[in-house]
Every structure is written in C-alpha cells, then in structure tokens.
Amino acid sequence: MNRHTLQIIVIIAIFFISVRGVSQTYVYLDENGKEISANNFDEKCNSNLLFQCLVIKQTKEFVISQIRLKQKFGKISPLEANQIKKLLSKDGKEELSNEKILLISYYDSLADYRASKEMHNFLEEKFINYYKKHIDEYKRYYKKNKVTYFSKFNKEIFEKKIKKFSKKKKKCKTKFEKKFDINVVFMHSDSSKFEKNYSDFKWVKDRGVINSVFIKNDMQDSLTSKKVRFLVLKPDGEYFISNYHYNNNSKILKTLLKNKNWSDYKEDYKKSLYGNIMGVGLFKRESRYHYKAHCF
C-alpha cells in the first residue's frame, strides 16, 4: 500500500470517528511485528521498494497497520527441500530432480466460467453507469481510438482465453527449463475441480506447503488474496520467494536461476532493505511492473 492510499484510509477513518463519535486507536507495526510511531511507519513505507504497508486489521475501536516484505530470501534444510520435491512429483505426476533448482509459479485461484461471467457482468454494469454519466467524454474517446471497453463474453470466449493462457505458460515452462536446466511447476490453492477447465495444462494443488513452510506471516496480505507469485528453491534448501511479478527482461529472476551461489545477492538484498532507497547491486531499482510481459 502506498502512502497516498494509506492517507485516504486514515482520512476516511477520521471522518467516521467524527460522525459517530467513536474513538479509534491507530497501531503501527514494523516488519518484525514491533510497534513503531506513525512517523517512522510512513518514513519506512516510502523509503524502500522491498516493503509494502498494509492495514491488517480494522474494527470500530482500532486500526492496525504493518510493514511487510514483498520478497525475501530464506533457508530450509536439504531434507525438507527434497521432501517437498517428492510431494510435488507425486501430486503432479512429474519427475523433479533433486539436483536442480525448482521454480514454482503460484496462483491463489483458477479460472471458472460462472465466476468470470459474473465478474464480467458486474464490471460491464459499472461501465454502463459511467458511460451514462460521461457520454460525451466516452464518444470522443471512442471516435479517437475506435474501440469499445467491453467485448462480448461467453463460454466459447472463456475457453479461448484458457487455451491462450495454457499455451503461454507451457511455452514459458519449456523455455525456462531448457535455458536454465531447472524444473518448473505451476501450483494453485483453489479447488481442484477447476483444474478441468485447463484440459491440456498440468496444475499441482497446494496441500498447504507454501503457507506453512515458506510464507508464514511476513508476506500474507489481509486485504488481498495474493500471497505469493513465485518461489525459487535450491537443492540445498536456500530459497527466494516473491509476491511480485518480474517482467521478462528483469535480471533478478534470471540471475538467481543461473547461479548456485547466492551470497552476493543476499548481501545486495540486505543493503537494499535497510540502506539505499534505490536498491543495491542485483536489487537496484528497475522496471518490474505487472502489466509488462512476464512468465512468472
């Protein structure tokens, strides 16, 4: 959450307090769960690309905000890493090498036609209401760009989108496995019944491994369902986990996949976390926007 968004939340909260006469207490926590001042919270939130700032709990009495990490390095034992690979091999019916790096691309939900249709109708209704209020503005935009915001949506279109997604991800898997000599697995935490929508694509259902072993509490976002985008796990148990997309030109993911020794990159991370706002070394500021082309 950026500073502007946080300020809006605070302003709204203050408004309701003044209207209802209810006194709220604001609590600010750092990335280690320790209480800090509002000034320190704002300063830290706006000083580093590796932090995200979230309202994690809100009631009539209090609002709790916390600084959390967008990505991090960690370590489990080689035995745990091996056991995880065995579990994924069994569930995904695909052999995973104990000697190779494992790249897990993670999704919290899978596509479902009924839910997609409902969302499309909801957004279309909102757009129509906006169109009625801003008809002149819309007509100028349409005339200039020769496009409409919404297209038709039906079962056939849904299936084409799924097919396009599957084709793209299979291409990504083949490309990365060949180029970096690694294993790639696509995981999800949704109901297994939705896997049938992806007839020619292989998913692995997460039994809770990602949350219990790698995420725990520091990267969970109580305001969204997005917990993690990808995980890189080395045979020795070292890992890098991120809830942020990297575009296909980013050097971070590719560098970690190409190199077995991460010592220098972990130092860059530490210096970027608590030092230079622009980042250091591998984590020097670069374009990582989610709307750019990305495989993971």
- Of 163 and 228, the structure prediction assigns the larger pLDDT to 163
Residue 8 in this model has a pLDDT that exceeds 50: no
Predicted local distance difference test score (pLDDT) of residue 89: 96
- Of 138-147, 189-198, 205-214, the one with minimum mean pLDDT is 138-147
Length of the chain (residues): 296
The helix (H) or strand (E) run that includes residue 11 is helix 3-20
For residue 219, what pLDDT band results from cuts at 50, 70 and 90?
very low
pLDDT tens column, 67-85: 888 888 999 999 999 999 9
Predicted local distance difference test score (pLDDT) of residue 174: 96
Cα three-residue angle 8-14-16, rounded to 5 degrees: 105
Predicted local distance difference test score (pLDDT) of residue 25: 92
Helix (DSSP H) and strand (DSSP E) numbers for the chain: 9, 10
- Of 212 and 183, the structure prediction assigns the larger pLDDT to 183
- Of 32 and 4, the structure prediction assigns the larger pLDDT to 32
* Burial letters 128-162, b for 16+ CB under 10 A, else e: eeebeeeeeebeeeeeeeeeeeeeebeeeebeeeb
Most confident of 49-53, 99-103, 197-201, 226-230: 99-103
Residue 14 in this model has a pLDDT that exceeds 70: no
| Residue-range domain boundaries for the chain | 3-68, 71-111+157-283, 114-145
Give me 97's structure tokens. Answer: 């090498």
The span from the CA of 71 to the CA of 244, in Å, is 7
| pTM of this structure | 0.77
CATH topology of domain 71-111+157-283: Glutaredoxin (3.40.30)
The span from the CA of 196 to the CA of 205, in Å, is 13
The span from the CA of 189 to the CA of 182, in Å, is 23
- CB count within 10 Å of CB 261 equals 9
For residue 228, what pLDDT band results from cuts at 50, 70 and 90?
confident
- With contact defined as beta carbons under 8 Å apart, do 186 and 203 qualify? yes
DSSP state of 284: S
